[in-house]
Structure 1
Amino acid sequence: MINTVAWFEIATDDPQGAEKFYGELFGWSFTADEGSAKGGMDYRLVGYPGGDGPKGGVYATGGESPGHAVFSVLVADTGAACARAESLGGQVVFKLLDNPNGPDFAYVRDTSGNLFGLFTPPHLRGAQA
């Protein structure tokens, strides 16, 4: 559903360690995301025992960005949501729009400095909220 928490991401420079930790703790499994791999990104989708599909992923940063664990909100238009967040005092840290290899997404800091994500899957680009 639009404007709901729909994804989480764990970013780390040790994706194998994260897989081991979360796999053993929660029974999660991990598979490479082919779309991300086409764009040169190491992103692994999380699977759950008895789950209906991935609702999160592990991003291998390669040391290029700090580790983090964030929730992400599904929005109809990532660019518009970023602009609205900025108008409310938030800060867009990173955004990728018109992503040919997957969803549009952004990292945003709220007015307290907390990092969260926004994303729009390709099939929803241009949808109304």
Structure 2
Amino acid sequence: MGRPVAYFEVVSDDPRRAQRFYGELFDWKVEEDPSMEGYAMVDTGAGDDAIGGGIGPSQGPGDTGVKFYVRVDDLDAALTRATELGGARIADPMDLPGDVGRIAVLADPDGNPVGLWS
């Protein structure tokens, strides 16, 4: 069985500008989470089956852009498999606030970032 896309993320050097842009362009509800230092959660308003997301600040040079997160059972196993297939580890597994899971980020063979979420 395939793995579902579970989340999207927009990372920007000017997160408030990006939050305003996407919110107004697509009529999304964008709410900043004070505990997450400029990060805002996105509700696309597309119904219960829609994929949610977030828009937040860059954490370092070269990490701006858009990425999607795929739901996996085992982050370490997925990262190992990605490297075997020609990808690379970008961010090791880390816990998300509020006990909503763990994430990690890999680069595909072309360098595109892909998030993993368990």
Question: What range is the shorter-chain TM-score in?
Answer: 0.7 to 0.9
CA distance in 2, matches of 1:100, 1:106: 10
Task: Report whether the alignment pairs 1:118 with 2:95.
Answer: no
Please say if residues 6 and 51 of structure 2, whose CA atoms lie closer than 8 Å, have aligned partners that are also in contact. Answer: no
Deviates more, 1:99-108 or 1:6-15: 99-108
Q: TM-score when scaled to structure 1?
A: 0.75
The list of structure 1 runs, each at least 4 consecutive aligned residues, that deviate by more than 4 angstroms after superposition, is none
Q: CA deviation at 1:117?
A: 0.9
The equivalent of 1:21 in structure 2 is 21
Aligned residues: 114
CA gap of 1:84–1:45, structure 2 versus 1, over 3 A, is same
CA distance in 2, matches of 1:41, 1:80: 30
Q: CA deviation at 1:44?
A: 1.1
CA distance in 2, matches of 1:115, 1:4: 16
Deviations 1:50-103 (A, max 9, x none): 533761111222x52421101110111112111111121110111233x16242
Aligned amino acid, residue 101 of structure 2: P
The equivalent of 1:43 in structure 2 is 39
The equivalent of 1:58 in structure 2 is 55
Task: Report whether the alignment pairs 1:5 with 2:28.
Answer: no
The equivalent of 2:106 in structure 1 is 108
CA gap of 1:67–1:5, structure 2 versus 1, over 3 A, is same
| Structure 1: unaligned runs, 5 residues or longer | 121-129
Task: Report whether the alignment pairs 1:85 with 2:82.
Answer: yes
Q: TM-score when scaled to structure 2?
A: 0.81
Q: CA deviation at 1:30?
A: 1.2
Structure 1 vs Structure 2: percent identity of aligned residues?
35
Per the alignment, in what secondary structure is the counterpart of residue 109 of structure 2?
coil
